[in-house]
Structure 1
Amino acid sequence: MRALLQRVTNAAVDVDGTRIAGIGAGLLILVCAMPGDDAATAEALAVKISKLRLFRDDAGRMNLSIPQTEGAALVVSQFTLAADTSRGNRPGFSGAAKPDKAEALYLHFAQHLGSLGVPLETGRFGADMAVSLINDGPVTIWLNTDVG
């Protein structure tokens, strides 16, 4: 799986002009299932994210994980993280998992992250979403489970 994490002061998702999810301080997590991913991959990614020390401690150092800060996560499915730009000028997305598998893994990832003590909200799989955020730092981290 691939994930792009952005530390935020707030983030939200609107669909058709209606707010469907929003958080205050925490992480916006854009996630993409790839072929070969399974439930174990989704769980491992959730565990990794729950333990990453991306938040400031009292000394101002990135030393706290999201559960330690009582922050929340907004998890949004983002198949374009699988973009292949190696040929031509139009990205290809055939490297993403098929939609039925991708949706199941996206939901499993979110459910497992929540079970690790991270309050969360989600976007709507397959919807045309408007995602807004204020990046805090800015801190943006790329994770790719196939390379550790």
Structure 2
Amino acid sequence: MEDILLAHEKAELEQDIEATMATVSPNPHYEFPNFGWAADGTGAVREHYRRVLPNTGKYDIAAEKRVHASASNTLIREAWVSFTLEGERYTGMYLVVISFDADLKLISGERLYTDSNFAKVMGEDLGDDYGDVPGVSRIDASAPIIDKHDAFAEAAARGITITAPTAN
């Protein structure tokens, strides 16, 4: 996973869309919760990179990881990210959960969370018409409705009772 991520980041920093896409599986699923968007398939993900990658130089983006964790086929990276916007240098944060296809040894998905500073940059890059891109949809269109917090079952399995106040 580390090698795949490094190849992916190298391609991103070199603003090479084809090399970036070469690190992505044939059926990727990306999510951008700050904006409510999901991008499914290589066409939508390629368009995402087409909009975002050319601006890494414009913004002079630099990142430094704070937390780096991995599990089976998943890698999490939280980082400070600095960038220049309207002539001023800012620092924000992002957290990305990256999933990998173990057989293909490629990135199968990303879920990118950003703070409000970095969201400004990304929002400008995505543009007002991002939702019109084939394969891009609202996350809430496919997200499940959760009826009961999973902590109740987890607590019960450990012999703990959670007594929630009733709604008024």
Question: TM-score, length-normalised on structure 2?
Answer: 0.25
Larger radius of gyration: 2
The structure richer in helix per residue is 2
- TM-score, with length taken from structure 1: 0.27
